[in-house]
Structure formats: structure tokens, C-alpha cells
Structure 1
Amino acid sequence: MLDYGGGNGRLAELLRAAGFPRVETYDPFVPRFATKPTERFDCIVSIEMVEHSTDPVGTFAEMNDLLTEPGLILFSTLLQPNDLDRRGLSWWYVGPRNGPVSLYTKAALDAIGRRFGLTRHSFDNNHHAFYRVLPAFAESFIRADVTVEDSR
């Protein structure tokens, strides 16, 4: 498993302590974890990171390149509300100077996924997955034919 954009590596530590035998951290902004892995992973997690990327397509391309077949990318990012044009920068999630710089809708995630032949599954408005072929380990919590609709 790879924690992509994993900061100080704490999630990887917690996962190893919980019994996951191989968990690595990659974060190009943290010198200790800045070396890009050369191997591929069947599960990549990216928690509250993709909204900080100034190159969303490039970020997902890099994750896709690190993914085995079958494989799963689990990530979190809050979907943009339907009334963002009214809320503008008053939406609490937006922070262009020090926070999220890339905002996503279901359609935006679907467009990114299509570029790489990936299917999107959203558990809710904040937790999502991409996969090309659903790995066996994910079949119990992802149903390929069910995607939760955006409630906003």
C-alpha cells in the first residue's frame, strides 16, 4: 500500500501497527519521503491531498502509473457544492492562499478517470475510489454498479 502525499508518514506507521505488512509513504514535499517509488501498489491512499495539487491531471496520472492491475486508488476530497457560484470564496473549504486550490465535482472526477480508463466510486461527498478492474480485496466494500449520488 502507498500513502501518496502522506506528509510525515504517520498514516503508514498506523497502518503497519494495525497489521498491514507493507505500507510506504511518498510525498515530494517531505525530504524523507520525496523519492518516488519504483514499484507499483495494489492500493494507493491519498487523504485530503488532491485538492492541494495545482496539476490535478498530473497528480492522478502519477498515481495511475504507480497502480497495479487490478488496483484501487482511495482518496478523499470534498466535492464542490452545487451553489459554489453563489458561495464563492466564502465556502469554508476554499483556501487558495494556503489550502485547497483544486476543487472537484463528480463530473470533474469522472473526466479525470476517463483519461486513464478508471471508474469512479464515491462513498459519500468526501471519500472516493478509482479503479480499472476492481481488486478482490475491495469487492466487499465497493459495488461496481453503485455510486452514491452527490447530496448537494
Structure 2
Amino acid sequence: MIIGRPLLTWCVPWLEKRVRHKILYLGSKDDTRDEQRYQGYCDAMMLHNLSPLRMNPRAISSIHLGMQLMRDALSANPDLDGVFCTNDDIAMGALLLCRERNLAVPEQISIAGFHGLEIGRQMIPSLASVITPRFDIGRMPPKCC
């Protein structure tokens, strides 16, 4: 089941409605799901005449990695105003780094993650996140050829 790519074609227009035009994709470990999400992001960015930007360290995701990526992203792109993260761990790190730098989220920069983890909803401000039906997918019986 491929859900990452179609869902991201929804996320970029959502960020664009918030008048965001420099939207970065923060990836993590290079795997199939991350690549599908990135391709969906690219499709949507191109559809809206926006230039795709990507940081992908090929490292295992963590909140700490999200902070590090966001620090690097802001250094390289000081006018960054939107970030889509491959998962909520990376997104929470990005949000914490913005809070550390007194950047108002979502007023100055919008951040969205992927998976809808509860801890993201408890952050201040709460984390925007694509909620995936992971548990429902896990309960589905396998389909044979």
C-alpha cells in the first residue's frame, strides 16, 4: 500500500495556503517510504511551481537529528518558511530548534510531520502531522498474487 506519495500531494498545497513558498523536505534514513514521501512532495511542489529542496542525511531519524537538520537548513536557507518532515521525530526536532531560536511556529515557519504521534499533539504549539492508518494496515490480511 502506497500512502506517502498521494498524501504529500495534499500537504504542499496546505502549506502554500499558509503563504509558504520556500518549503524544505527533511528526510532521514534512505528507505522506500521516505523516497515515496519525497516523490509526493516533489510532485506537489512542481504542480504549484515551487522549487523542491531536500536535506537527507541518510541517518536513523530522531528528535536530535531533526534539530540538527533544522539548524543546518536555516543556516543554508534563512528565508525558509515551510518544512515537511519524513516523520514526527524529525518534525519535533525541527519544532524544538525553532522554539530555541524564538521563531514563531506556525506564524513565521510552518512545520508538518508524518505519522500523527501523540507526543506531537502535546507539543506547544501542537505539531501538524499526516495521520497514517498504521495499525489498520497492520491488521489487514496479506493478499496473495
TM-score (norm 1): 0.39
Could you say which structure has the larger radius of gyration?
1
Which has a greater percent of strand?
Answer: 1
Which has a greater percent of helix?
Answer: 2
TM-score (norm 2): 0.40
